[in-house]
Amino acid sequence: MSLKLKDKVALITGASSGIGAAVAKKFASEGAHVILVARSVGGLEEVDDEIQNAGGSATLVPLDLLDTAAIDGLAMPLYERWKKLDIFVGNAGMVGKLMPTQQYVPDLWENVFRLNVHANQRLIRALDPLLRQSEAGRALFVTSHVAHENKQFWSAYAASKAALEVIAKTYANEVAKTNLRVNLIDPGPTRTRLRSLAYPAENPEDHPLPETKAQMFLDAVLSEENGVVFGG
């Protein structure tokens, strides 16, 4: 069987559970060495065990992306070990709370933007030189259809994802003449912790497991498209 990501190095944020973990396991099964970034050491270790047991390889990076200044330290160790980064998946995200805009708690509002927007810009800043060292660098950011729907009570999350989309598409235009391709992906409703926080009353079994979405991510990073949204 031909491994589609053989010898690739892929960094995935929010990789300790949900979609991030599923994507990491999928990429590892296709031959990539996956760099798993998340706050939860225990969650990272569980994902690593699954990857190792399946014959894959991973590096664990416990990191709280709300500490945006700490992101700057990611690049040098990656450069020293691999000299490049082939794939970056910006998956980590925060819903916050669903509430009227005028009632939103300022600290929580700022954290939603710090993780969904500011952290991804800092990651772009840190990882761009490494992605450009790849023969075919790929950056993929997770978005949501709510960014375009103006749904009541969703202002913080929706606005942060709209901002992320603008950043990603602008970045795509800026690198259009290089080997780097930058896209977004909307995996749609999925049985994750993030979904249960947003919709605590719904039956989680009404939605597919994260593992069913992993192929979408693989297809996206193998694509030659630039500045588009996959899925949705």
> Could you tell me the CATH number of the domain that includes residue 197?
3.40.50.720
Q: Binning pLDDT at 50, 70 and 90, where does residue 195 land? A: low
Burial class for 227, CB neighbours closer than 10 Å (0-12, 13-18, 19+): middle
* In contact, 190 and 19? CB cutoff 8 Å: yes
The answer to whether residue 74 sits within a structural domain is yes
Active site residues: 157
Mean pLDDT value across residues 40-64:
97
Q: Which two tokens stand for residue 21?
A: 């973990």
* pLDDT at site 202: 55
The answer to whether residue 208 sits within a structural domain is yes
Residue type, 51: I
The whole-angstrom separation of Cα 217 and Cα 201 is 28
In the chain, the number of structural domains is: 1
The whole-angstrom separation of Cα 135 and Cα 85 is 10
The answer to whether residue 226 sits within a structural domain is yes
Q: Binning pLDDT at 50, 70 and 90, where does residue 188 land? A: confident
What interhelical angle do 155-174 and 106-113 show, nearest 10?
30
Q: Are strands 229-231 and 87-90 parallel, antiparallel or unpaired?
A: unpaired
Average pLDDT, the chain: 93
The answer to whether residue 1 sits within a structural domain is no
The answer to whether residue 114 sits within a structural domain is yes
The whole-angstrom separation of Cα 232 and Cα 223 is 17
Percentage above 90 pLDDT, the chain: 88
The whole-angstrom separation of Cα 158 and Cα 171 is 20
DSSP for 151-218?
Answer: -TT-HHHHHHHHHHHHHHHHHHHHTTTSS-EEEEEE--S-SSHHHHHH-TTS-GGGS--GGGGHHHHH
Mean pLDDT value across residues 99-123:
98
The pTM score is 0.93
Contacts of 31 (CB under 8 A, 6+ apart): 3, 4, 5, 6, 7, 8
- Domain, as residue range, for 136: 9-231
Burial class for 199, CB neighbours closer than 10 Å (0-12, 13-18, 19+): middle
